[in-house]
Amino acid sequence: MTEARNPAIEIALLGDDGAAPASAPVNAGVEDRVAAAAASADAGKTNIFDFDRARLERFFEEDLGEKKFRAHQVMKWIHHRYATDFADMTDLGKALRAKLEERAVVRAPQVVFDKASTDGTHKWLLGMDAKNAIETVYIPDKGRGTLCVSSQVGCALNCGFCSTATQGFNRNLSTAEIIGQVWVAARHLGNVPHQQRRLTNVVMMGMGEPLANFDNVVRAMSIMRDDLGYGLANKRVTLSTAGMVPQIDRLAQESDVSLAVSLHAPFDELRTRLMPINKKYPLAELMDACVRYALRKKGESVTFEYTLMQGVNDQPEHARALIGLLRDFDRRVQMKGAAKINLIPFNPFPGTGFQRPSDEAIRAFQKHLNNAGMIAPVRRTRGDDIDAACGQLKGQVMDRTRRSAEHRKRLHAAGAGDAA
């Protein structure tokens, strides 16, 4: 396992009990001064990471009085060659470089630390500001490399089986903070778009609900798919949502990426208990929106994610109801296999009340779907030795809700009970 820390960031990494672990160096005075100096130097400057191609072209033409092809050159320097210093952009004239130094900055997220798993998975903790950090995970597998990207600091949706939910919510990430995750990983991997592609897929399945941060996420996904950015095909960028129905419809109009839906239950009562958002957008409304999304383009499918929890949603009656839901989706879209299903064994985290089903129970549930003619792969758990598996992502959140405090209280109560 490798671990690299950036001393120029002032985040204190907290354990589940709210205390800083022994491995987290705290030198707040020095770090405060370094962070303050960096912020002062960049004050009033435009972070170019925030711009997709269209906005960067406008910035060059309207703010800098330059030709828009110069914006294209800068995009390539940033996203293909990983340059953050305008002085290194040698095909720009000295006058333009000086102008950029005065008006703009290329500010990537700070790497607080990174960890490598024994299975090749890699996790980064990235500092977003003085008090908040998020996690990003790279998963290599048989000729493809998938990056799991976060969209918020924490999450406001409070799904009961997700570790991120226990930390509460602070804020949305900016476009720069979202695409910056891709930049950090791509640079680390030595990714060269269109040549040496180590990063082949991006999934918006990290911390947060992407559709609750719609504009910034859509802009970041545009850079991911731009040839001047990371050059990913539309189908290789996937947005995963808990089911924000109006935003699914808006996404169909404003972007062209793959859609994944966190389903996790085939009954409204159970899904509402697991995912409070279901009370606002129940299954019938959610499935209607998914049908509309699939129908916007011939041959389009939607992936449904289903986390299996022991004794909660893994019984034969759940499998039968799920089959009915997916068959109805296929019928309405008029395409067999339009509904794809991924089965995800629950990944435990401290303080959870849920358990992973046995391997036999997982196979039995899968067999029900297979017997109904459905392909239902069970997602292989990756990175669980570094808490990077699905549902385990947990950065550092300065919580604006009471959920993190309530979770710590439950952990303390459980610890006291164990001791007794």
Active site residues: 135, 390
Amino acid letter at 180?
Answer: G
Q: Is residue 183 within 8 Å of 82, Cβ to Cβ?
A: yes
Q: Are 251 and 239 in contact (CB under 8 A)?
A: yes
Question: Which residue from 99, 102, 140, 100 is spatially nearest to 122, judged by alpha carbons?
Answer: 140
Q: Does residue 310 sit in helix, strand or coil?
A: coil
Region of residue 82 (left: phi > 0; alpha: psi -120 to 50; beta: else) = left
Which tokens hold the place of 33? 């001064």
Nearest Cα to Cα of residue 345 among 310, 373, 387: 310
Q: How many CA atoms lie within 13 A of 213 on its CB side?
A: 31
Q: Distance (Å, rounded) from C-alpha 299 to C-alpha 363?
A: 29
**Beta carbons within 8 Å of 212's beta carbon, 6+ residues apart:** 151, 152, 156, 157, 172, 244, 247
Count, residues in the chain: 420
Contacts of 82-87 with CB under 8 Å at 24 or more apart are: 82/183, 82/186, 82/187, 84/108
